[in-house]
Amino acid sequence: MERRRLGRTGHMSTVVTFGAAGIGRVDQETADRAVETALAHGVNHVDVAPRYGEAVQIIKTVARDPWGDRPRTHTTWYEPFTDQAIIDQAVAFVLSRPVTTLCSVGDVTVLPRVLEAAERFRAIEAPAEAALLATSGRYHSPFVGDWA
């Protein structure tokens, strides 16, 4: 997996950071599987913070919508994208920005899809970026509510 320099630290961080806050809501076996999956893909940066405020807007790459009243089917605080093609586009969009890393989803069923998308990452061109941005109106910001 591609690595980028993390600020002035000299650390070469993988372009995907394992967003591990969600594994606190699953059993140990599932949590172990999530960590093993991240490590198997070469991830060397783990984030365990449960809340971030506005900074989450760039790092929650696969946030589709707030859960609202819908049943929670994943261990994330937002409804994640699950379609691989959409995840690929979201990851490519974020990694095409001048960022060091994106924070992955902590859900063990979506995590491998994000990691695989990062391994296939190719920067997107302006026309593809514009087309992708044109679809953003279909989704809602998960950054709503009292905690935001």
What is the DSSP secondary-structure string of 46-68? EE--S--GGGHHHH-TTEEE--T
Q: Which residue has the higher pLDDT, 3 or 101?
A: 3
- Spans of all domains in the chain: 12-138
Name the average pLDDT for the chain: 80
Residues 29-39: pLDDT tens digits? 888 888 889 88
Give me the count of residues in the chain. 148
The residues, any chain, with a CB within 8 Å of residue 9's CB and separated by 6 or more, are none
- pTM (2 d.p.): 0.67
Determine which helix (DSSP H) or strand (DSSP E) holds 88, and give its type and residue range: helix 84-95
Q: What is the pLDDT of residues 44-89, one digit of tens each?
A: 888 765 555 434 444 466 778 888 888 989 888 788 889 999 999 8
Which of the four pLDDT bands, split at 50, 70 and 90, describes residue 90?
A: confident
Q: Exposed, middle or buried, 124 (CB in 10 Å: 0-12/13-18/19+)?
A: middle
Residue 100: pLDDT band (50, 70, 90) is confident
